[in-house]
Amino acid sequence: MAAVTLLSATGITRDFGGLRAVDQVDFELPEGQIRALIGPNGAGKTTFVNLLCGRLAPSAGRIVFAGEDVTRLPAHARIARGMAYTFQITSIFAALSLYDNVALAAQRRLAAGEGLGAAVAAALGRVGLAGRADQTAGDLSYGHQRLLEIAMGLAQRPRLLILDEPTQGLSDAEIEDFIALIRSVARDATILLIEHNMDVVMTLAERITVMDFGAVLAEGTPGEIKADRAVRIAYLGG
Amino acid sequence: MSGATRKGVVLHLGVVALLAGLQFVLPAYHHGNLARVMVLASFALGYNVMFGYTGLLSLGHAMFFAAGLYGMGLAMRHLGLPALPALALGVLCGAALAALVGLLALRTAGVAFMIVTLMFAQTGYLTILYFGAFTRGDEGFVIPRAARRIGALDLSEPTTRYFAALLLLGLCLFATLALVRSSTGRVLIAIRENEDRARMLGYDVFRYKLLAMVISGAMAGAAGAAYGLLFGYVGATFASVQYSIFPLLWVLLGGAGTVLGPLVGTLFMFYLIDLSSGFTSAYMLIAGVALVLLTLFAPRGLMGLVRARLVPWLP
Amino acid sequence: MDFGPYLLLASMEGAVQAAVLALMALGLSLVFGVMRVVNIAHGEFFMLGAVLAWWFTSLVGGHPAFGFALALIGAPLIVGLVAVAADLLVLKRLDYDPERTIVATIGLLYIIQQLALEFYGPDARPVAAPFSWRIDLPWFGYSGYKLFVIAAAVVIMLGVWALLTRTRIGLVMRATQFDSETAQAFGIPVGRVYTMVFGLGAMLAALAAVLIVPIQQAHYLMGGDPLLLSFIVVIIGGLGSLRGTVVAAVLIGMSDGIISVFFSPTLAKILATLLVALVLVYRPTGLFGTRTA
């Protein structure tokens, strides 16, 4: 099956004052792929995905999502078209219950709240938080808050799920569950993963994009990236 | 969830029934006061939709109350509109002004939003004074008894007035309850808690804030129009800064983000000021002390404390 | 009177307004700039300064200059102490949270205003000017005291400017304004700086009041209008920008004085408040402020 392009970015650039954080990046993501985005700290990864989902406006360039030019669309409109973004720094509604957190993610696509309870239960169940719906989100442990964040991503049933450092602060056992979870999610969504944990990247990703100094340094399969000299020098430390 | 919803509905029905029952036992002075409190509490309920649930702190809510009051009053005085359509016009004026102000003010946030709303309200107040030929400025005008009728109901008659005020309060109470239990209400609360996250779940935050503001303005306008109709007076004082501070004070005292809080806060503060005005002309001192103490020691207000300590399901 | 002299008179009245307004707005701007606190009670510090000026002058007999000199020192001192107390007892405990401090300063507004009503009463009371010579212009005589007000305001503002740019305290204040966390990390006692700035801001309002009270009488509700005008000045000038504040004060004070002579003062105020709201919406850095990242 020839892969359809879900998301493409051409010439994406972003300046902060005199500093160019993202420089002329071309990026293409086919539907159904698990893509990892790696690079050293300050390489511009988070800025780049923030440009993709609309939290930041690009200084130049064009973004097409599902065949539509979304460059000028505000973040909420892009999310409504099927992107989902989970935050690097856990960003949940700490004062609300788990139910309300996930319901907020799910209710937008459900007409008149129909089947909302079931959708929330399903999303919580998939991340292993079933039965905790009435707890207050802020009372959860850090690892569980990360899982809730992912449940909120799932509940949106996105076409593209952007995960910004999802395994940060998780234990080894939790990371294994996470890998299995992402594999199952990938059956009906495209995944863009910013990740520092190389084991997670090499296990999950079908293709890897490497960024450095705001530009794309290399792109390829995990095997190709491992073999790439430039990547090793810039990033993996030789 | 539905158990808590039912408990909430029963509780609020109970409060309305209690207020209806009080009508028969209260002495005339408190009877009149309570009618006044119920109308003002409707104003506070509207304020609560914006401040308590959506997290938008306005310092200019008097302009929406005044929009209702003058929308109703001027239409009756200059156009000879009967009471009921004038009341509807008042609600509409409150909502429309809120939409207009919201379109501009909601481009700002936090402190700037507070000051922008304060300035717009001040503009409104001064405009009322400037067009004194129509509005009779500071002095205001009286709506004659004969005009304050809806069908066979004489709104100036104390019992009718009391039940009209209760009807308004009941409508605003249950509208708030329905709103906060709805998915829209959930989004408003989400915006209060974490605006960026709400946006990144795909919600057009600006539109939801504007909606909250229009609902809030409509309630404030309804309260203003009802106040004028029930008590027969329209004056610029109701557009002054003080009447922007009052709903904030009432809601803070009663508990922001609780459905009953605004009523409790209004009742409490009304009587505190009423009692202290018997001793001194500096009765607003109470309001000042209350504001400082509340922000320092009880930012959740009375019903917020009740919810935290005793009744976790309190809406 | 002909148009020319009339305009001259209006401009002179405007200049007096502008001078006092600049002092008052400087205080508000300083507090906002350094502490990020919007002090709604600023107008009441002004009122308190005026009421205290009346009290001091009523204590002293003899030539009115003695009482005035006493008021010029005493009133700002007491008002400054009140502000310091308010900072320590209220604002500091709120951790200077922007929204909660606004609500708290609204509370302070009513507390100060109503205490003044209780102890000073509802009457407006005059204070004698320290001297009474007049300047005779070809068209009209003009009060020398009003010119003194302008001169005094300029001197005080130069003093504040020198304090901020030429002294260690000023350096510390500016460092705190620039970045309070870094300032803290470098051992600057940010808490004490805040208290000092809040006191200084209130003293500027009180000084403005002492200067104006021989022209305007002291009344417990006199804080409202200057508060509104200083807000307008601070916002138009750019929140926290001291130079912008002074420029805007001169502009607004002069034009308010001049416009009020020719048009209805209510209309002037309507336009001014509307302008402020729109400036905040469309150009939050003010008309003279520079945009920072």
DSSP letter assigned to residue C87: I
3-state SS of B221-290 is HHHHHHHHHHHCEECHHHHCCHHHHHHHHHHHHHCCCCCCHHHHHHHHHHHHHHHHCCCCCCCHHHHHHH
| C224 vs B contacts (CB less than 8 Å) | 241
- Structure-token pair, residue B228: 């004028």
> Which structural domain, as residue segments, surrounds residue C33?
22-222
In terms of residue numbers, what domain contains B196? 2-239
Q: Which residue of B has its CA nearest to A154?
A: B201
Q: Which residues have C-beta within 8 Å of that of residue B69, sequence separation ≥ 6?
A: B90, B224, B225, B227, B228, B234, B238, B239
Length of chain C (residues): 293
CA distance A2 to chain B (A): 30
Q: Can you tell me the distance from the alpha carbon of A151 to that of B238, in angstroms, rounded to the nearest whole number? A: 49
Q: How far is CA B12 from CA B19, B89, B216, C32, in A?
A: 11, 28, 20, 43
> Residue C262: is it exposed, middle or buried by C-beta count within 10 angstroms (0-12/13-18/19+)?
exposed
Q: Are strands A215-220 and B141-142 parallel, antiparallel or unpaired?
A: unpaired
Cα A19 from Cα B157, distance rounded (Å): 72
Pick from A76, A99, A103: CB nearest B203? A76
Residues of B in Cβ contact (< 8 Å) with A79: 199-202
> What would the 3-class secondary structure string for chain A be?
CCCCEEEEEEEEEEEECCEEEEEEEEEEEECCCEEEEECCCCCCHHHHHHHHHCCCCCCEEEEEECCEECCCCCHHHHHHCCEEEECCCCCCCCCCEHHHHHHHHHCCCCHHHCCHHHHHHHHHHHCCCCCCCCCEHHHCCHHHHHHHHHHHHHHCCCCEEEEECCCCCCCHHHHHHHHHHHHHHCCCCEEEEECCCHHHHHHHCCEEEEEECCEEEEEECHHHHHHCHHHHHHHHCC
Which of B115, B283, B292 is the closest to C90 by Cβ?
A: B292
Q: Which one of A83, A86, A93 makes the best mutation probe of the B interface by having the most chain B beta carbons within 10 Å?
A: A93
Q: Does B190 fall in a domain?
A: yes
Q: Looking at residue A63, what is its pLDDT? A: 93
Task: Please name the residue of chain B whose CA is at the shortest distance from the CA of residue A101.
Answer: B190
A50 vs B194: CA distance, rounded Å = 17
Which residues have C-beta within 8 Å of that of residue B17, sequence separation ≥ 6? none
Reduce the DSSP state of residue C140 to 3 states and report it.
coil
Assess if residue B303 is contained within a domain.
no
Name every chain A residue with its beta carbon within 8 A of the beta carbon of B194. Answer: 91-94
In this structure, what token pair is assigned to residue B11?
Answer: 């509780």
Per the domain annotation, does B218 fall within a domain? yes
Distance CA B33, CA B43 (A): 15
Q: Specify the 3-state DSSP secondary structure of C246.
A: helix
- Residue A1 CA to chain centroid, in angstroms? 25
Contacts of B245 in chain C (CB under 8 A): 106
Give the pairing type, strands A160-164 and A190-194. parallel
Among the partner residues C38, C111, C277, nearest to B123 by beta-carbon distance:
C277
The pLDDT, as a whole number, for residue B224 is 97
Using CA coordinates, name the residue in chain A closest to B185: A104
**Paired tokens of B88:** 């509807």
Identity (one letter) of the amino acid at C233? V
Within a domain: residue B270? no
**CB-CB contact of B72 with B86 (8 Å):** yes
Question: What confidence category does residue B2 fall into, taking pLDDT thresholds of 50, 70 and 90?
Answer: low
Map out the domains of chain A with their CATH numbers.
Answer: 1-81+192-238 (3.40.50.300)
Mean pLDDT of the B259-268 span: 92
A77, A94, A105 ranked by CB distance to B201: nearest: A105
B127 to chain C, closest Cα gap in Å: 7
Q: Which one, of A222, A164, A224, lies nearest residue A196 by Cα?
A: A164
Residues written for chain B:
315
Split at pLDDT 50, 70, 90, the class of B1 is very low
Distance from the first to the final alpha carbon of chain B: 11
The total number of structural domains that make up chain C = 1
What share of chain A in percent tops pLDDT 90? 30
Mean pLDDT score across all residues of chain A: 87
Reported ipTM: 0.87
Rg (CA), chain B: 19
User: How far out from the chain centre does Cα C248 lie?
Assistant: 13
Cα–Cα dist B243/B55, whole Å: 20
What pLDDT, on a 0 to 100 scale, did the predictor assign at position A130?
Answer: 86
- Chain C interface includes B287 (CB < 8 A): yes
Beta bridge partners of A190: A160
At A180, the amino acid letter reads A
Q: Per-residue pLDDT for B3 more than 80?
A: no
Task: Find tokens 């601070």 and name the residue.
Answer: C234
Residue A167, pLDDT score: 85
Instruction: Collect all residues of chain B within an 8 Å Cβ-Cβ radius of residue C266.
Output: 126, 129-130
Q: How far apart are CA B39 and CA B220, in angstroms?
A: 10
Please give the interface size between B and C, counted as residue pairs whose CB atoms are below 8 Å apart: 118
Residue B298 lies in a domain: no
Q: Do B288 and C110 touch (CB under 8 A)?
A: yes
Residue with tokens 């104006």: C212
Q: Tell me if A20 sits within 8 A of A214, measured CB to CB.
A: yes
pLDDT in tens, B13-39: 999 999 988 988 888 888 899 999 999
What is the rounded distance in angstroms from the CA atom of residue B78 to the CA atom of residue B147?
13
Cα separations (Å) of C125 from B226, C43, C69, C121?
A: 41, 18, 18, 10
Please give the share of chain B, as a percent, with pLDDT higher than 70: 99
Asked if C38's CB is within 8 angstroms of B115's CB, the reply is: yes
Question: Which residues on B lie below 8 Å from A46 (Cβ)?
Answer: none
Residue A238 has pLDDT above 60, yes or no: no
Nearest CA in chain B to A83: B202
| Contact assignment for C280 to B115 by CB distance below 8 Å | yes
Which residues of chain B make contact with A152, given a CB cutoff of 8 A?
201
Distance from CA of B148 to the nearest CA of C (A): 32
Give me the number of domains chain B comprises: 1
Residue C241, classed as helix, strand or coil, is: coil
Q: Which of B67-71, B120-124, C8-12 has the lowest mean pLDDT?
A: C8-12
Give the chain B residue nearest C239 (alpha carbons).
Answer: B112
More confident of the two residues A97 and A229: A97
Which pLDDT value is given to residue A144? 86
Q: Which amino acid is at C293?
A: A
* Interface touch C122/B281, C-beta < 8 Å: yes
Q: Is B111 in Cβ contact with C110 (below 8 Å)?
A: no
At CA B177, angle to CA B173 and CA B180, rounded to 5?
A: 135
Residues of chain C with pLDDT under 50: 290-293
Say if B294 falls within a structural domain: no
Angle between helices B28-48 and B205-231 (to 10 degrees): 160
* Both structure tokens of A160: 């593209």
Rounded Cα distance, C82 and A225, in Å: 68
- CA distance linking residue C89 with residue B313, whole number of Å: 35
pLDDT of residue A235: 65
Residues from chain B that touch C90, judged by Cβ atoms under 8 A, are 292, 295-296
**Rounded to 5 degrees, what angle do the CA atoms B40, B41, B45 make?**
120
User: Taking 60 as the threshold, does the pLDDT of residue A2 lie above it?
Assistant: no
> Element (H or E) spanning C34, and its range?
helix C3-35
Give a yes or no: residue B245 inside a domain: no
Q: Which of B197, B199, B202 sits opposite A93 (nearest CB)?
A: B197
Q: How far is B207 from chain A (nearest CA, A)?
A: 11
In C50-63, which positions are buried (b, 16+ CB within 10 angstroms) versus exposed (e)? bbbbbbbbeeeeee
Which residues of A are less than 8 Å from B197 in CB distance?
87, 91-93
Evaluate whether residue B273 is within a structural domain.
no
Name the residue type at position B266. Answer: T
pLDDT digits (tens, 9 = 90+) for A190-235: 999 998 888 888 888 999 999 888 888 888 888 888 888 777 776 6
Compute CA distances B27 → B38, B69, B159, B166, C161, whole Å. 16, 28, 12, 17, 63
Among residues B113, B66, B2, B51, the alpha carbon closest in space to that of B261 is found at: B51
Residue B291 backbone class (left: φ over 0; alpha: ψ -120 to 50; beta: rest): alpha
C-alpha A80/C-alpha A76 separation (Å) is: 6
Tell me the nearest-neighbour CA distance from B105 into chain C, angstroms. Answer: 6
Say which range, B21-25, B92-96, B258-262, C262-266, has the weakest mean pLDDT.
Answer: C262-266
CA distances B286 to B20, B188, B272, C276, Å, are: 29, 32, 7, 31
> Which residue from A55, A104, A117 is facing B201, i.e. has the nearest CB?
A104
C-beta atoms of B194 and A91 within 8 A? yes
**Best-predicted range by mean pLDDT among A44-53, A170-179, B93-102, C115-124?**
B93-102
Q: How many residues are present in chain A?
A: 238
Tokens describing residue C292: 């920072």
Spatial neighbors of B182 by CB under 8 A, at least 6 apart, are none
Distance CA A34, CA C273 (A): 55
* Opening angle at CA B149, ends B147 and B150, nearest 5: 135
Q: Residue B308: what pLDDT?
A: 84
